[in-house]
């Protein structure tokens, strides 16, 4: 992706993320052993943006109904591609939100999917989609399928959990391998973080090298007490446990460990070059928080499974404090980094913070809790939306300062 300059809507300055100076307004900036550290106080007031529904909802027409949306991407021409992992196909919508056609569907042929996992930007005008049923990365334009790359086996990543992060100018694809859970080795009960490797694959699909390994999902090892696996040790995720999120901005890898309000910027050799932090205190988790979480999960489950689910959740350990951030980040069409505050039980809104890769705080926006942001740009946001009848659509918003 080429270098993109943004005109800030809140200040009469023109800045380009790749060329920004060392001065970051309202932040403390220092260098430590070649690593640039940008720190924001929690008292710093950020520009408040607001969302306004444009009236465009995708997925309301016959043939375009959505089951489980895994990704949404808006192209420069305004057309929108939606990846429905539930139906294993890609749908194309016009700039006006009208359903146009399916451009990638269920199957094993070129441009088809067995298990559609991820979709994201391949370049400015193209998207990439990964099928972890066939370990295959496919490239699409809004007109349809273009080409595919089949990843060769690698000992460093699990193909059933691969998530591409971005594509380098030479065609190399940067991926992470996710975090596997399964039966653990026998031993004492313990807690640890799984590792999230970041690996570079060549344009030919061959694994090249490991860029780094970063803390992933927090798990605890406990002994199974009931059922066929009784007596064996298994991994389980504690409630409100820690996790990580990874992405790519301006050709750099963005690493978020959601324990703290922080993101690190790493180059493609694995060298840490920047750390951006905002000082916030993590809220203590109370018994009322856990109970509210259990009630929400149980009420959303089918009636025949509710009591079993309630007992299972009540037996789980939970972290002492909430994480600071959601374990998901959005890299928008202008290569800006969106971080969502952790959604706690009972929250009706969620705040998202917007940064450039050099550490500038662009602003923040509050979104309804039933909106999951999937893609964004300088003045728009796309996300999945569930109404009071649990009908799933993709909704387009204006982002206004």
Position 190 confidence tier, pLDDT thresholds 50, 70, 90? confident
As to burial, measured by CB atoms within 10 angstroms (0-12 exposed, 13-18 middle, 19+ buried), residue 284 is exposed
pTM: 0.88
CB 213 within 8 Å of CB 255: no
In a domain, 21, yes or no: no
Q: What is the DSSP letter of 119?
A: E
In a domain, 310, yes or no: no
Distance CA 48, CA 209 (A): 41
In a domain, 247, yes or no: yes
- Average pLDDT estimate for 204-224: 90
Q: What is the CATH number of the domain that holds 211?
A: 2.120.10.30
In a domain, 112, yes or no: yes
Q: What is the DSSP letter of 303?
A: G
Distance CA 80, CA 95 (A): 7
DSSP string, 312-346: HHHHS-B-SB--SEEEEEEE-TTS-EEEEEPPPTT
- Average pLDDT estimate for 302-316: 92
The proportion of the chain whose per-residue pLDDT surpasses 90, expressed as a percent, equals 72
In a domain, 34, yes or no: yes
Q: Which residues contact 248 (CB under 8 A, 6 or more apart)?
A: 165, 166, 174, 254, 331
Which helix (DSSP H) or strand (DSSP E) does residue 244 occupy? strand 244-249
Position 2 confidence tier, pLDDT thresholds 50, 70, 90? very low
pLDDT at position 232, please? 78
In a domain, 303, yes or no: no
Position 67 confidence tier, pLDDT thresholds 50, 70, 90? very high
Distance CA 121, CA 104 (A): 16
CB 171 within 8 Å of CB 123: no
- Average pLDDT estimate for 20-29: 65
Q: pLDDT digit string (tens) for 345-357?
A: 989 999 999 999 9
Q: How many domains is the chain partitioned into structurally?
A: 1
Domain coverage including residue 138: 26-285+320-400
In a domain, 291, yes or no: no
């Amino acid at each position: 992706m080429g270098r993109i300059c943004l005109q800030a809507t809140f200040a009469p300055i023109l800045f380009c993320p790749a060329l920004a100076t060392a001065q970051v307004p309202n932040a403390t900036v220092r260098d430590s052993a070649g690593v640039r550290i940008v720190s924001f106080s929690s008292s710093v007031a950020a520009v408040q943006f607001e969302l306004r529904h444009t009236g465009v909802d995708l997925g309301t027409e016959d043939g375009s109904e959505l089951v489980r949306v895994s990704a949404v991407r808006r192209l420069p021409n305004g057309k929108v591609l939606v990846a429905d992992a539930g139906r294993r196909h890609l749908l194309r919508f016009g700039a006006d939100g009208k359903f146009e056609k399916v451009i990638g569907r269920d199957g094993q042929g070129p441009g088809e999917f067995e298990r559609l996992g991820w979709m994201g930007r391949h370049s400015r005008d193209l998207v990439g989609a990964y099928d972890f049923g066939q370990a295959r990365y496919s490239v699409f334009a809004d007109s349809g399928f273009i080409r595919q790359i089949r990843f060769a086996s690698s000992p460093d990543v699990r193909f059933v959990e691969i998530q591409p992060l971005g594509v380098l100018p030479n065609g190399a694809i940067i991926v992470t391998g996710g975090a596997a859970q399964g039966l653990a080795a026998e031993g004492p009960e313990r807690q640890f973080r799984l590792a999230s490797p970041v690996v570079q694959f060549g344009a030919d699909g061959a694994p090249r090298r490991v860029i780094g390994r970063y803390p992933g999902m927090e798990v605890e090892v406990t002994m199974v007490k009931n059922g066929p696996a009784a007596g064996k040790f298994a991994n389980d995720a504690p409630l409100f446990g820690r996790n990580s999120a990874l992405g790519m901005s301006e050709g750099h890898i963005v690493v978020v460990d959601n324990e703290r309000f922080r993101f690190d910027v790493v180059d493609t050799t694995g060298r840490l070059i920047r750390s951006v932090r905002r000082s916030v205190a993590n809220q203590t988790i109370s018994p009322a928080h856990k109970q509210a979480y259990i009630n929400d999960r149980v009420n959303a489950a089918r009636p025949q499974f509710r009591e079993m689910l309630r007992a299972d959740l009540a037996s789980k350990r939970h972290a002492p404090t909430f994480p600071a951030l959601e374990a998901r980040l959005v890299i928008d069409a202008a290569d800006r980094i969106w971080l969502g505050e952790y959604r706690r039980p009972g929250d009706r809104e969620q705040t998202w913070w917007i940064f450039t890769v050099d550490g500038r705080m662009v602003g923040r926006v509050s979104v309804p809790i039933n909106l999951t942001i999937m893609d964004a740009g300088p003045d728009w946001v796309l996300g999945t939306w569930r109404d009071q009848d649990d009908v799933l659509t993709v909704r387009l918003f204006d982002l206004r300062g």
